[in-house]
Amino acid sequence: MRFVSQIFQPVVSIPKGATIKNIEITCKSQKLLMECGLVRPTSAGLFTILPLARRAISKLENIIHTCLEEVGAQRLSLPCLTSARLWEKSGRMDDVGPELIKVEDRHGKKYLLAPTHEEAIADLFADISPLSYKQLPFLLYQIGNKYRDEHRPKHGLLRAREFSMMDAYSAHATHTCASRAYDTVTEAYRKIFSTLHLPVHRVQAPSGDMGGSLSHEWQLPAQVGEDSLAVCPSCSHAALSTDSSTCQQCGRETNEVNSIEVGHTFVLGARYSEPLQANYIAADGATASVHMACYGIGITRLLSASIECLSSEKALRWPLAIAPYSALVIGPKEGSKEWVGHGFDRVQEIARQLEQHGFRDDVIVDDRHALTIGKRLVMADRMGYPNIIVCGRGALESPPRYELHRAGGEAPLLLTVGELLHTLRQDRENRENREIDVEYETRAGE
């Protein structure tokens, strides 16, 4: 059980139009995360993730980890420092150009801080080449920092220079096998976004710098987004905006929405394995380039994009599965009748009950007794805690009753402990069963 008074959460107030370290505040996730003491910039495009946001990220990482391991992915860690030689071999050194952060070691050897690891993983396969077709396929992923020297970092974590990503890579003997893995990872992505209850659209996309034969972007609608989607109100089909405003699927008029790219998936073919000589030996003894696919989700970007999508200008809202704490308990003000009546023990007892009934390591107690319940409720609402339990006047009744305020703004419920635990359990079950209402396009392999 944690206490709000002990959390390292430097709350600040940012006047309208102010700049922080020469950076303009251009969107609500950036403003709310900073004002609520969750994230602080250290310089342009670089951020310290403070403890409550760090908890949200750990929860997000766990969801991604679980969904990927379920489809057989194996986690590894590639070094962030990638030899420049590999990027020269793939020809991307010049394509990506000024966004690459280059590093030279004390012996003059050239590296870069990898924005992505296609070259590094192909080099790993090459290093153990020739693989036998019997060893394939592999599906490998990592979670870690990536680097991109953005000309103008902006929107806080949405466009940073150091950011956290999940990046996955698969290696195959055939294109068919690569397509199958692509579909499997697509399913895992769907599960990730549906666990978060985020209306993420998968849209066909050009392959760009990355190369390869097929790619999809995973887009989350949000006003501040720099991409634009054409979403069909009739059949829910979504696509990157083009000149036409006609749905490619059903022919109806589409709506334009801004959106944020939170993930990307690519069938790469031999784009990297060929120049980097990642080969395998087929059943007939012939040597060929490994077929590859790659998959990314921007973790810090997804965190801020989801806040951008769900929050108001004034109050944070999180996907429930990644809120820093799922439940906050507020006790009476020191010296009040309730304080005298049941004191702080009752508050801690409620928190313990919650810990034991589905909220293990996921309850925080607002122990700032000097503040009124009302003031703490306002702050808790701004922080977006999904369940706020107030241990106030009702707790003096027999049996004692507690207020349950749920993010979403319905009127609070007055419940006994038993009813409270039951209601919260039902909420959880409903959430797990509810399917999110997003239609995805058909699969790559169909």
Residues that bind a copy of itself (CB under 8 A): 6-8, 10, 12, 40, 42-43, 46-51, 54-55, 57-58, 72, 74-83, 98, 101-103, 105-106, 109, 113, 120, 123-124, 127-128, 138, 140, 144-145, 147, 149, 151, 161-162, 164
Burial class of 106 by CB neighbour count within 10 A (0 to 12, 13 to 18, 19+): exposed
Task: Give the nearest distance from C-beta 44 to a copy of itself in angstroms.
Answer: 8
Nearer to a copy of itself, 149 or 419 (CB): 149
Strand, coil or helix: 334: coil
Backbone region of residue 197 per phi and psi (left: phi > 0; alpha: psi in -120 to 50; beta: other values)? left
Task: Give the nearest distance from C-beta 99 to a copy of itself in angstroms.
Answer: 8
Task: Give the nearest distance from C-beta 135 to a copy of itself in angstroms.
Answer: 8
CA distances from 325 to 19, 205, 286, 360 (A): 30, 36, 55, 10
What are 368's two structure tokens? 């700032």
Give me the residues paired with residue 15 across strands.
none
Task: Give the nearest distance from C-beta 359 to a copy of itself in angstroms.
Answer: 16
Nearer to a copy of itself, 48 or 245 (CB): 48
Q: Which helix (H) or strand (E) holds 60?
A: helix 51-70
Nearer to a copy of itself, 144 or 412 (CB): 144
Task: Give the nearest distance from C-beta 358 to a copy of itself in angstroms.
Answer: 18
Task: Give the nearest distance from C-beta 283 to a copy of itself in angstroms.
Answer: 16
Neighbours of 307 (CB within 10 A): 28
CA distances from 381 to 259, 358, 374, 389, 392 (A): 26, 22, 11, 12, 17
Task: Give the nearest distance from C-beta 311 to a copy of itself in angstroms.
Answer: 22
Instruction: Compute the Cα dihedral for 111, 114, 116, 122 and give only its sign.
Output: positive
Task: Give the nearest distance from C-beta 46 to a copy of itself in angstroms.
Answer: 4
Nearer to a copy of itself, 9 or 174 (CB): 9
Q: Are 97 and 84 in contact (CB under 8 A)?
A: no
Q: Are 327 and 389 in contact (CB under 8 A)?
A: yes
Task: Give the nearest distance from C-beta 169 to a copy of itself in angstroms.
Answer: 11
What are 244's two structure tokens? 């036409």
Nearer to a copy of itself, 5 or 246 (CB): 5
Nearer to a copy of itself, 7 or 288 (CB): 7
Residue with tokens 């989607």: 229
Nearer to a copy of itself, 78 or 330 (CB): 78
Nearer to a copy of itself, 45 or 331 (CB): 45
- Looking at residue 11, the DSSP 8-state letter turns out to be -
What are 61's two structure tokens? 């990482």
Burial class of 331 by CB neighbour count within 10 A (0 to 12, 13 to 18, 19+): buried
Q: In angstroms, rounded to a whole number, what is the distance separating the alpha carbons of residues 163 and 59?
A: 17
Nearer to a copy of itself, 51 or 400 (CB): 51
CA distances from 354 to 59, 245, 279, 376, 410 (A): 19, 50, 54, 20, 21
